[in-house]
Amino acid sequence: MLRLEGEAFCLSDELRENGHMSTFTIDSATSRATPTPQPGKRLTVPAIRARKIDGTAAEPIVMLTAYTMRMAQLLDPHCDMLLVGDSLGQVIYGLPSTVPVTLEMMCAHGAAVVRGSWQALVAVDMPFGSYEASPAAAFAAAARVMKETGCAAVKLEGGEAMAETIAFLTSRGIPVIGHVGLTPQAVNVLGGYGARGRDTAEAEKILRDARAVADAGAFTIVVEGVVEQIATDVAKAVAPPVIGIGASADCDGQVLVTEDMLGLFERTPRFVKRYDDLATRIGEAAATYAGEVRARTFPTPDQTYRPKGA
C-alpha cells in the first residue's frame, strides 16, 4: 500500500514499523523506486557550472551516456553527468543515424535513466526536428522532456543558429547544454561524420558557435569531433565547462558513448578508448550457455526446484 505524503509517496505505516521506511521511498516526480540507500541530493546545474572558475576546471567533469535503468545504476556512482544521448538511435534501435529518433524515445529512455540514478545530473538530448523550427517549439518539446523524465537539463545541437533558442529556454527555466563541432543530426548537410575544423574558416566558425552558445546561457558545451587545437581554443574561449568527445584532453570534462568504451561494438571511432571487450565476453558467455543447453548439462540440480522437504 502506498500513500501520498507531502510531495512524495511513502510506504505504509506497516512497512514503516517493519523498519523498511528509512531506505525506501518513491519519488513522485520521477517514479523512481529502487531500494537503494536514501537518495542524496543530485549534482545540480549550478554545481556543474561552478566546476569551471576563471577558465579552469580544477576537477574534470565525467560524463557517460546511459539509455537504460540498469546501466544508469551501474554508471551513476562514477559520473557527474549521465547523458541520455540520441545516439540511442544507433546503439539501441539499430537506426542508420540519429535523424529518425523521436521525442517519445527520448522521454521513455530519459525516465528510465532518472529512475536508475540518484546522484548524477541527468541530461536528455532533444531529438532532430523537435527544437529547430522556433524557440516556442523548442520550449514545448523541452518542457515535455523535463516533465516526463525528471531530468535536470536538455542538450541540443547547433551554434549561432541556436543561440536565440538557447536564450529562450534558459530564461524560462530550462537548463541547456550546447553541442558544437561535429553535430551528428546534421549528417545530411555535413555529408558524413568526419572531424570538423580542418580548415581555418571552419575552425573560426566552431569558435564563433561556441561563443554564441555560451553567451546565450548554455551551462555546459559539448564539443564533438574537432581538430584538437580547436577544442583547446574553445575551452579557453568560453566561460562554461566544455566537455570533449573526439576533442582534446584540455577540455573541462569528457564524454563517451558507454557501449563504445565498453567494447560492445567491433568498430568504434578513432577517439574511443575501449576500457573492456564486452562483445567478446558476451559472445563467449552465450556460446558456453548454448553448448550446455545442447548437451543437457544446464540446468543442474542447483538451478531447479524441489518439493518442500526433499
Interface residues with ligand KIV (CB under 6 A)?
Answer: 65, 83, 85-87, 125, 222, 224, 245, 255, 257
Could you give the C-alpha distances from 229 to 203, 212, 248, in angstroms and in order?
Answer: 9, 19, 7
CB of 245 to ligand KIV, least distance (A): 5
CA 76, CA 159: separation in Å to the nearest integer? 29
Report the distance separating Cα 115 and Cα 96, nearest Å. 28
Q: Which C-beta is closer to ligand KIV: that of 85 or that of 175?
A: 85
Q: How far apart are CA 287 and CA 5, in angstroms?
A: 50
Q: Which of 148, 157, 224, 259 is catalytic?
A: 224
Cβ at position 15, least distance to ligand KIV in Å: 39
Give me the least distance between CB of 85 and ligand KIV, in Å please: 2
Please identify, using beta-carbon distances, which residue of 11 and 222 lies nearer to ligand KIV.
Answer: 222
* d(C-alpha 79, C-alpha 182), whole Å: 24
Q: Is 266 a catalytic residue?
A: no
Cell of 16: 514503516
Q: Kindly tell me which of 135 and 269 has the beta carbon lying closer to ligand KIV.
A: 269
**Nearest residue (CB) to ligand KIV, 106 versus 227:** 106
Q: Strand 61-65 and strand 121-125: pairing?
A: unpaired
Minimal distance, residue 77 CB to ligand KIV, in Å: 20
| DSSP for 238-302, written as a single string | -SS-EEEESS-TTSSEEEE-HHHHTT-SS---TTPPPS--HHHHHHHHHHHHHHHHHTT-SS-GG
Residues for the chain: how many in total?
310
In the complex, minimum distance from the CB of residue 184 to ligand KIV, in angstroms, rounded to a whole number: 7
**123 or 216, CB closer to ligand KIV?**
123
CA distances from 202 to 194, 195, 222 (A): 13, 11, 17
The catalytic site residues sit at 224
